Amino acid sequence: MTRIDEIAPDIFRISVFVPQADMQFNQFLVRDEEPLLYHTGRKGLFPEIREAVARLIDPTQLRWIGFIITVTWNL
């Protein structure tokens, strides 16, 4: 199930709940002159994320995509 919440003017949280993992994944879309999608979600969630983005903007207009990489160092 995908949910879209406007958390500030033109800033949206796209939440996808995955029952199998009992976990919610969040992405953020900033609708602006140069739209930003912060985090793309897991590969298997792509269809739902893309559909949610398309409800807010034309996905071809995305200008920026941001993400975090987590690295664990065993020193």
Domain assignment present for residue 74? The answer is: no
Higher pLDDT, 8 or 67: 8
Which range is least confidently modeled, 7-11, 39-43, 44-48?
Answer: 39-43
Evaluate if residue 69 carries a pLDDT over 90.
Answer: no
**Average pLDDT across the chain, whole number:** 92
Give the global pTM.
Answer: 0.85
Contacts of 15 (CB under 8 A, 6+ apart): 2, 3, 4, 5, 24, 25, 26
Domain assignment present for residue 75? The answer is: no
11 pLDDT tier (thresholds 50, 70, 90):
very high
Backbone φ and ψ of 25, nearest 5°? -110, 135
Backbone φ and ψ of 71, nearest 5°? -125, 135
| DSSP β-ladder status, 11-18 and 2-8 | antiparallel
Domain assignment present for residue 73? The answer is: no
Looking at the structure of the chain, the number of domains it has is 1
75 pLDDT tier (thresholds 50, 70, 90):
low
- State which residues form the domain around 15: 2-66
